Chains A and B, each alone.
Chain A
Amino acid sequence: MHPIRRPPRRGFGEQPATLAAIQNLFARGEQGGYWPADPAYAYEDSAGTIPASRDGVVGLLTNAVTGYPNAIQATTANKPYLRRTPATGKTWYDSNTATGALNVTFASALGSSCTIATVTPEGVSILENKTVGTTYNICPPYGYNSDVLIINRALTPAEKALVTRVMQRDIPAYGSLVNAIPQMRGYSANNEMQIDWSTKTSFIDYWRYGGNYLSSFPLINTAAGTDFSFAWYGCSGLTSFPLINTAAGTNFSAAWYECSSLTSFPLINTAAGTNFSVAWAYCSGLTSFPLINTAAGTSFYGAWYGCSGLTSFPLINTAAGTDFSYAWYNCSSLTSFPLINTEAGTSFYQAWNGCSGLTSFPLINTAAGTSFDAAWSTCSNLTSFPLINTAAGTSFYGAWYNCSSLTSFPANFFDSWTGVPIANCFSLTWDSCIKLTLASVQNIVVSLVVSGKSAPATGTDISLDGAPTLVAIQADTTVMTAVATLKSRNWTPKYKGTAL
């Protein structure tokens, strides 16, 4: 699995946590994939250059977890249409001709122990011990073609439950004689002002599903609310949000996920909040964020994922935060980042991936961090990087991948490294950092030597790149002396893809 992931064209259809969970099914190199019924993954042409549109044809559907193979149809006559169900707005692929197909071509046959999960009008179907050859049509003629997941092994009961939970969101609901959606938004009727909310503690999913009918939200009494997870999930029509009472709220997971029309957010009381995972993910209309109280927050997983309109970020209290993975992924308009407290953070997996507007990065405390995979990948405007403490790190896979303006990388970065390196821990780490100076390359390899660490049993690459030519690197005594030592410790240093 390639850990450096770019979001699909129009944003994740899934919450990052969900997609990551599906990705984990393939973490041991399993073959197969997951092709969601989500326009974010669909293209009109088989080359994947033209986004598919409603009632238009689909020539390519991206594999959302393993990156390949995609599902492809290059002959227009055989392409399905991208449809949406009228009542609940579910995306599906209408292969309404006998030759209809979106074909997946695997590198080799997947064998006879495959699990195939699909969405049917009546639920999620999980077929076991199925044989899958080198090609598979995920969009057969004349059916309700929605999400498809294929994996070349059996799933555990827990994994089946996960797959069911994820895929059941695309089960279509049959429309009734009277379309009740405008009157019934999600689980909550359109009667907020007529009922007493004051004793309600859980608002899970309340205005989710059908939330796009919600253009404004009243100031109801939510003082007793503790769980606001998924409450306004997908309310993409909301342009403003009131200052509700959330003082008792502990769980804000996905609460405002994809409220993409919000341009500002009120200074609500989140002092008791511990779980902020994907809370404001894809709130792409926000340009600023208030200084809310997040002192009790432990999970900031994907909290501001895809908030691509944010131009600044406040110095919030994140002292208790342990999980910062994906937290600011693709916040591409941020030009600076505050010196927040991340001393308890253990995972920074892809935390700032795609923050392409950042020109500098603060000296945050990352001493407890173990995963830095793709943490600063594609921060393409960073020119230097501070000497942060990553001593406990076990993997830096793609950590500075495609930091294409980075010239300066500090000395002594790995001198005190105590973490246990895992396979591929330095694969793609500095790949496409095409402006790194010779001194920076020296700093990296010399510091890795000082660390005294030997390579893991597999995945021993140290991927380097920079401004100097390969010849110049090979002629540099400092680099090559360090490289010799690293090779004696079973590392495989590479420069611009060539083993040194």
Chain B
Amino acid sequence: MWTERLPLAIPIALIDAANQLGAIIDPDTGGDQTFSLDQTIADYVVAYVPFTEQMRAVVIGRNAAHWQAAINQRAAEKGMEPLPMETIEALRAALLCGDEVAALSEP
């Protein structure tokens, strides 16, 4: 079951790392174009991402251990290099989700 799009925002400076993460957790072969400089709010790149319910729960939970485990598992399943722990942690700490993204547009 797919959820409706979940707004995600990452600081522009982290776009490459965010797209590396996108390539790992995307169930399809793409994902490396999840974030685009064509779609920004303030200093953030924004993507509106459909998730499976399980992955959505992991993302919005922003639990460090769950993130590390889920991302490493997905990387192994896709035969990809896992992201360094510190990169995952930087992304997790900087990520805005849902209403937090909407708040970026508020004056």
**Which chain A residues numbered 38 to 81 have a C-beta less than 8 Å away from chain B?**
45-47, 53, 55-57, 59, 73-79, 81
Per-position 1/0 for A85-97, Cβ under 8 A of B: 0000000000011
CA distance A287 to B36 in the complex (A): 53
Residue in contact with B22 in the complex, picked from A47, A53, A75, A98, CB distance below 8 Å = A75
CA distance A485 to B5 in the complex (A): 65
- Contact residues in B for A96 (Cβ distance below 8 Å): 5, 48
Interface centre among B30, B32, B35, B47 (most CB of A within 10 A): B30
CA distance A56 to B50 in the complex (A): 9
CB nearest to B1 among chain A residues: A56
CA distance A45 to B78 in the complex (A): 14
Q: Report whether B48 and A97 are in contact in the complex, using a CB–CB cutoff of 8 Å.
A: yes
Taking the nearest CB of chain B, how far is it from the CB of A85, in angstroms? 17
Q: Report whether B36 and A57 are in contact in the complex, using a CB–CB cutoff of 8 Å.
A: no
Residues of chain A at interface, number, CB under 8 A: 20
Residue in contact with A57 in the complex, picked from B22, B39, B50, CB distance below 8 Å = B50
Say yes or no: is A113 at the interface (Cβ < 8 Å to chain B).
no
CA distance A81 to B49 in the complex (A): 11
CA distance A356 to B15 in the complex (A): 52
- Contact residues in A for B38 (Cβ distance below 8 Å): 98-99
Taking the nearest CB of chain A, how far is it from the CB of B46, in angstroms? 9
Say yes or no: is B63 at the interface (Cβ < 8 Å to chain A).
no
Residue in contact with A75 in the complex, picked from B1, B2, B5, B30, CB distance below 8 Å = B30
Q: Report whether A47 and B29 are in contact in the complex, using a CB–CB cutoff of 8 Å.
A: yes
CA distance A96 to B34 in the complex (A): 15
Taking the nearest CB of chain A, how far is it from the CB of B30, in angstroms? 3
CB nearest to B32 among chain A residues: A75
Given contacts A55-B2, A56-B2, contact A75 B26 (CB under 8 A): yes
Residues of chain B at interface, number, CB under 8 A: 21
CB nearest to A74 among chain B residues: B30
Per-position 1/0 for B25-68, Cβ under 8 A of A: 01111111111101100000001111000000000000000000
Residue in contact with B36 in the complex, picked from A55, A73, A74, A99, CB distance below 8 Å = A99
CA distance A55 to B1 in the complex (A): 8
Residue in contact with A97 in the complex, picked from B5, B27, B28, CB distance below 8 Å = B5
Given contacts A81-B50, A99-B39, contact A76 B5 (CB under 8 A): no
CA distance A458 to B26 in the complex (A): 47
Given contacts A55-B2, A56-B2, A99-B38, contact A75 B50 (CB under 8 A): no
CB nearest to A72 among chain B residues: B30
Taking the nearest CB of chain A, how far is it from the CB of B24, in angstroms? 12
- Contact residues in A for B5 (Cβ distance below 8 Å): 96-97
- Contact residues in B for A97 (Cβ distance below 8 Å): 5, 47-48
Q: Report whether A98 and B2 are in contact in the complex, using a CB–CB cutoff of 8 Å.
A: no
Q: Report whether A78 and B33 are in contact in the complex, using a CB–CB cutoff of 8 Å.
A: yes
Given contacts A57-B50, A97-B5, A98-B39, contact A76 B29 (CB under 8 A): no
Given contacts A75-B22, A98-B39, contact A57 B30 (CB under 8 A): no
CB nearest to A75 among chain B residues: B30
CA distance A75 to B21 in the complex (A): 12
CB nearest to A45 among chain B residues: B28
Taking the nearest CB of chain A, how far is it from the CB of B42, in angstroms? 16
Taking the nearest CB of chain B, how far is it from the CB of A257, in angstroms? 31
Taking the nearest CB of chain B, how far is it from the CB of A454, in angstroms? 48
Q: Report whether A46 and B28 are in contact in the complex, using a CB–CB cutoff of 8 Å.
A: yes
Q: Report whether A45 and B27 are in contact in the complex, using a CB–CB cutoff of 8 Å.
A: yes
CA distance A98 to B37 in the complex (A): 12
- Contact residues in A for B26 (Cβ distance below 8 Å): 75-77
Q: Report whether A76 and B30 are in contact in the complex, using a CB–CB cutoff of 8 Å.
A: yes
Given contacts A56-B2, A81-B2, contact A76 B27 (CB under 8 A): yes
Q: Report whether B47 and A99 are in contact in the complex, using a CB–CB cutoff of 8 Å.
A: yes
- Identify 30 residue pairs between A and B in the complex whose beta-carbon atoms are under 8 Å apart, listed by A's number: A45-B27, A46-B30, A53-B2, A55-B2, A56-B1, A56-B2, A73-B30, A74-B29, A75-B26, A75-B30, A75-B33, A75-B34, A76-B26, A76-B28, A76-B30, A76-B49, A77-B22, A77-B31, A77-B33, A77-B47, A77-B48, A77-B50, A78-B30, A79-B28, A81-B50, A96-B5, A97-B5, A97-B48, A99-B36, A99-B39
Using a CB–CB distance below 8 Å, which chain B residues touch chain A? 1-2, 5, 22, 26-36, 38-39, 47-50
> Could you list 17 further interchain pairs (A-B, Cβ under 8 angstroms) beyond the known A59-B28, A76-B31, A77-B48?
A45-B27, A46-B29, A46-B30, A56-B1, A74-B28, A75-B28, A75-B30, A75-B33, A76-B27, A76-B30, A76-B34, A78-B34, A81-B2, A98-B39, A99-B33, A99-B39, A99-B47
